[in-house]
A and B are shown apart, each in its own frame.
Chain A
């Protein structure tokens, strides 16, 4: 019997959160080993477990996978969340990378110097409502199906819904003009394993607060 995947990261969202979402949507139970101090991270490095001295790292199927996208690609392929052929995969990849670009902007906000924060937030809001969400709303409208690609749940839907949560955390009005995306969010959130993930006690992580940010900075030696 295969062991559960084991996720190595600090106890927060960061770059591991999209992996947690994908595993949850795939219905895969996973364990987490949290890095709490710089010494914990050093130990992982010194034990030779991190190919590029970086996390996220996921132990799965006898491998120690690193690089967020490598990990996500593996999980998506293994659990049939990556379309049925190359063309569907291409669409899924385009959508996924677009969502990742938006997600990256939001992720970087935590590390933004205070003086630049307002400008960055304004840019995120502008990009969300003018560049990214319209694309996906249009896709759903054009085929009228429940999911973005191939009339079936794929990683594109999971990443999209994750980012919709973050967008709404930033400003709940941002999704107001995107009814089909809101419906997708509800649909994916209602899937039994996702629902469980999102409930209190589930493995979804909350937004980072001052204290956890300070802790993360210490672990990763960010000034």
Chain B
């Protein structure tokens, strides 16, 4: 009997959170192995299971999967959350790649320099409400279905909910101009596996606080002013 997938990361959201969401939504139980210090992280690297010396890493089906997208694609395909054909897969890919651009911004926000914080927050919210959320509102309006792609639950829906909740943590009223996204949020949150994940005591992680920011900075040795430097896909106005 196959063991449960085992997630290797620090005890926080970061790049692993979407993996947790996807597994939870698929109803797959998983274990987590946290590292809390630089030493523990280096020990993991020396263990030779990290192909490019990086996390996330997920032990699943006899593989040590690394690279977030590789992990997510494997899980999505395995648990039938990746569409029924190539075209549906393409739509899902476009939607999740757009969401990743937005969620990366939100993820890096706590690492902003103090003097940049207000400006960065404004930028995130502007992008969320003028570039990203309109796309998903429109998609739902155009086909009138409950889910983004193919009239059934997919990776795209799960990640959209995740990102909506992250954006609301930045500004609670961020969905005020998006009635269909509000309904979508309620609807997807009520799916039993997802609802369970949203309850206290689940493996969902909270946002970074003062303490955990310090921990993360020690483990990963970040430079100062990570925000704009890491907006690789958003470096330009394109």
A residues apposed to B, CB below 8 Å = 41, 51-55, 61, 63, 65-70, 73-74, 77-78, 86-87, 89-90, 93-94, 96-98, 101, 104, 108, 111, 131-132, 135, 217, 219-222
CB distance from B69 to the nearest CB of A (A): 6
* CA gap between A97 and B53 in the complex, in Å: 13
User: B222 in the interface, Cβ–Cβ < 8 Å?
Assistant: no
Residues of B within 8 A of A41 (CB): 238
Q: Given the complex of chains A and B, what is the CA–CA distance between A63 and B94 in angstroms?
A: 11
User: For the complex, what is the distance from the CA of A96 to the CA of B66, rounded to whole Å?
Assistant: 11
- Chain B interface residue count, CB cutoff 8 Å, equals 32
Give Cα distance in the complex from A27 to B214, angstroms.
51
Contact A132–B52 (Cβ < 8 Å):
yes
CB-CB contacts below 8 Å: B67-117 with A: 67-70, 73-74, 77-78, 86-87, 89-90, 93-94, 97-98, 101
Say yes or no: B90 contacts A94, CB within 8 Å.
no
Chain A contact residues: over half helix, strand or loop, or mixed?
Answer: helix
Main secondary structure of the interface of B (DSSP, over half): helix
- Of the residues A52, A101, A135, A222, contact of B98 by C-beta under 8 Å: A52
Contact call B74/A98, Cβ cutoff below 8 A: no
- Which residue numbers of B lie inside 8 Å of A, CB to CB? 51-53, 61, 63, 65-70, 73-74, 77-78, 86-87, 89-90, 93-94, 97-98, 101, 131-132, 135, 232, 235-238
Is A89's CB under 8 angstroms from B131's CB? no
Q: Which one of B51, B63, B131, B232 has the greatest number of beta carbons of chain A within 10 Å?
A: B51
> When the two chains form the complex, which single residue of B87, B93, B131 contacts A52, counting CB atoms closer than 8 Å?
B131
Pairs of residues from A and B, 10 with the lowest C-beta to C-beta distance, nearest first:
A70-B93, A93-B70, A97-B67, A221-B237, A67-B97, A220-B236, A220-B238, A222-B236, A70-B94, A94-B70
Q: List the B residue with the shortest CB-CB distance to A130.
A: B53
Q: When the two chains form their complex, are residues A93 and B67 in contact, meaning their CB atoms are under 8 A apart?
A: yes
A94 to B53, CA, bound (A): 12
**Which of A53, A65, A87 contacts B94, CB < 8 Å?**
A65
A89 touches B51 (CB 8 A): no
- The docked-state distance in angstroms from the alpha carbon of A115 to that of B235 is 18
Please name the residue on chain A nearest to B234 by beta carbon.
A54
* CB-CB nearest in chain A for B77: A86
State whether A221 and B238 are in contact (beta carbons under 8 Å apart), knowing that A77-B86, A90-B65, A131-B52 are contacts in the complex: yes
Instruction: Please give, as numbers and ranges, the residues of chain B lying within 8 Å of A74 by CB-CB distance.
Output: 86, 89-90, 93
Determine if B51 and A94 form an interchain contact, defined as CB atoms under 8 angstroms apart: yes
Closest to B232 in A: A104
Q: Determine whether the beta carbon of A52 is less than 8 Å from that of B52.
A: no
- Measured between beta carbons, the chain B residues less than 8 angstroms from A77 are 86, 89
Contacts A/B (CB < 8 Å), 10 sampled: A66-B94, A67-B93, A67-B94, A68-B97, A90-B70, A93-B67, A96-B70, A131-B52, A135-B51, A220-B238
